[in-house]
Amino acid sequence: MSIQQKTPPVIWQTSRFQIDLSTPRVMGIVNVTPDSFSDGGKHFVPGGGFSGVFAHCERLLKDGVDLLDIGGESTRPGAPPVPLEEELARVLPVVRHAVTLGVPISVDTYKPEVMQAVLDLGADIINDIWALRQPGAVEQVAAHPACGVCLMHMHREPETMQMAPMDGDVVPQVLSFLAHAAQSLEDAGVEKSRIMLDVGIGFGKTVAQNFSLLARQQEILAAGYPLLAAWSRKSSLAAVASADMAEMADRMVPSVAAALLAVERGARIVRVHDVRETVQALKVWVAAR
């Protein structure tokens, strides 16, 4: 009788944790913004303190989250940039609290100054929609001995990305961009084990292009890095599931479905709003395997 060999685990090296990706992991979204497309202002009201955000972080832990992703600037289509001091004022108190909770902490930012500040507080991961293209960002990550980093593909910028989406077959374009960004980071001295990729669903792509990236996700994995999938509550889901989804919570079921499909096609981490429901669905998926 032959002995089936187990696939060795994929480890994502981060500041404080070596994250075993042999089981899919759920990253919970913590928006410290008044204007994010899904839950802006729900947990954070400017001038109203941070108790609601702290409670949200702790609720996500009870729901089974594996990582928390904290962001202080909305990246919805048309969103204007947030001044540096405002982003720091939003994010730092939350990171200071979150690093005490015993799970890896990711910070969604493209500003090198914010990266340094949150890493100094003990954050584990930099999640950058610009894939470290802002001046000084590569150097900031490379200077840290162990932090994880997620490089995302974005066409144009948040204010303009949906005015003129990408042309043609996006899969090879996204693959080329991400492979180049990751190699450039390795050339700067960052170990491959610290790098995660994200195709950037909704960031300058049409509905059809977004779904082609899901259908052909294996082609992106050919770059040789683990993949994070961020489909949660995206407008492309509403476009195919039901145009009548005025409330973002209505997108929960298609969001969970997309997360499962992404994991089935090889994604190691799913970034979601609906943590409890996604965790439950993934438990069924794991049991079926």
Domain membership of residue 103 (yes or no) is yes
Copy the structure tokens of residue 282.
Answer: 């993934």
Residue 92 lies in a domain: yes
Residue 6, in any domain of the structure:
no
Whether residue 2 lies inside any domain: the answer is: no
29 DSSP β-pair partners: 69
Q: What confidence score (pLDDT) does residue 49 get?
A: 76
| Alpha-helical segments (H) within 144-272 | 170-187, 207-215, 217-221, 235-241, 252-264
Q: What angle do CA 222, 223, 226 make, to 5 degrees?
A: 90
Residue 161 lies in a domain: yes
Residue whose C-alpha is closest to residue 184's, from 221, 225, 217: 225
Question: Catalytic: 271?
Answer: yes
pLDDT along the chain (289 residues), means of 10: 49 98 97 65 64 95 98 83 95 97 98 98 98 98 98 87 86 98 98 98 95 98 97 93 73 96 98 98 95
* Residue in 271, 276, 283, 289 annotated catalytic: 271
3 found inside a domain? no
Q: Distance between CA atoms of 28 and 144, rounded to whole angstroms?
A: 24
Helices (H) and strands (E) in the chain, counts: 10, 10
From the candidates 194, 234, 251, 268, give the one annotated as an active-site residue.
234
| Beta bridge mates, 26 | 270
At residue 48, the pLDDT reads 63
Any domain includes 145:
yes
pLDDT of residue 39: 53
Joined tokens for residue 243: 């145009």
Q: How many domains does the chain have?
A: 1
| pLDDT score recorded for residue 5 | 38
Q: What is the extent of the structural domain holding 265?
A: 12-288
In this structure, is residue 50 part of a structural domain? yes
Take residue 241 and report the two structure tokens written for it: 């599931």
CATH code of 202's domain? 3.20.20.20
SS (H, E, C) 261-276: HHHHCCCCEEEECCHH
Q: Given this model, what pLDDT does residue 187 score?
A: 98
